[in-house]
Amino acid sequence: MSERVRQGLAMIAILAATLAGGAMWFQRGGMAPAAEGAMPGLAASLGGPFSLVDQEGRRVTQASYAGRFLLIYFGYRYCPDVCPTELGKMAAALDLLPATTQARIQPLFITVDPERDDPAGLKDYTALFHPALIGLTGTPDETRAAARAWRVFYAKQTVGRDADAYLMDHSSFIYLAGPDGRALRFFPPETTPEALAAALHRAVAGS
């Protein structure tokens, strides 16, 4: 076995262990509290300030939405299934809430594919789901910083031999931050719109 092959196998093993560790973190440290809504052990380590560009082409930061709860999902426009499902869930949950409660929540869709997701494209895409949903993009470095703050995994997966034909592997959790920008909870993919709406209502009512 050549040294290059050994190094490649070692890297694969490290990556597998890292992904497995992340899955166990979500299952043991995150998923159970998410069902109840609270994240006492994780709130201090999730979230943080960001600097991105919204779908109108304006530079925004977390402070741009101060005073509102942030409902955040990381994904990309060309996602074939998971992103439409989760964004549809967010939209359905918001529509289950009273208008006064909805007004206190800002849903955000942060792309993990800034190479293809420009502001104009995001504006067309978010309009398919909910009028309040805002798409955010940025440079690759800005995207990485935002994703790292929320512990979001993503990676490009080339399809075939065309380097421009690719999908993005990414973790799929919906996050909720309070009006002060601090993470409150996250919701795994199996969360229903009704459960999400109930959790949002409790969070807003308790603030």
pLDDT at 44: 56
Residue pair 173/159 in contact (Cβ under 8 Å)? The answer is no
Provide the CATH number for the domain around residue 78: 3.40.30.10
Q: What is the pLDDT of residue 203?
A: 96
Q: Which two tokens stand for residue 77?
A: 């426009």
Q: What is the pLDDT of residue 88?
A: 98
68 contact partners, CB below 8 Å, separation of at least 6: 104, 105, 106, 179
Number of domains in the chain: 1
For the ranges 52-66, 162-176, 183-197, which has the lowest average pLDDT?
162-176
CA–CA distance, 39 with 133 (Å, rounded to integer): 25
Give dist(CA 13, CA 10) in Å, integer: 5
pLDDT mean over 179-187: 92
Q: Model confidence over 6-56: pLDDT tens digits? A: 333 333 333 333 333 344 333 333 333 334 445 555 555 788 889 999 999
- Residue 116 — very low, low, confident or very high, per pLDDT cuts 50/70/90? very high
- Please tell me the predicted confidence (pLDDT) of residue 162: 72
What DSSP designation does 133 have? -
pLDDT one-digit tens code per residue, 47-105? 888 999 999 999 999 999 999 999 999 999 999 999 999 999 999 999 999 999 999 99
Report the C-alpha gap between 73 and 173 in whole angstroms. 7
Which of 192, 183, 202 lies closest to 72, judged by CA? Answer: 183
Quote the percentage of the chain above a pLDDT of 90.
69
Domain that holds residue 156: 3-205
The DSSP output letter for 172 is -
Instruction: Give 38's Cβ-side CA count (13 Å radius).
Output: 3
- Residue 165: pLDDT band with limits 50, 70, 90: confident
Confidence of residue 163 (pLDDT cuts 50, 70, 90): low
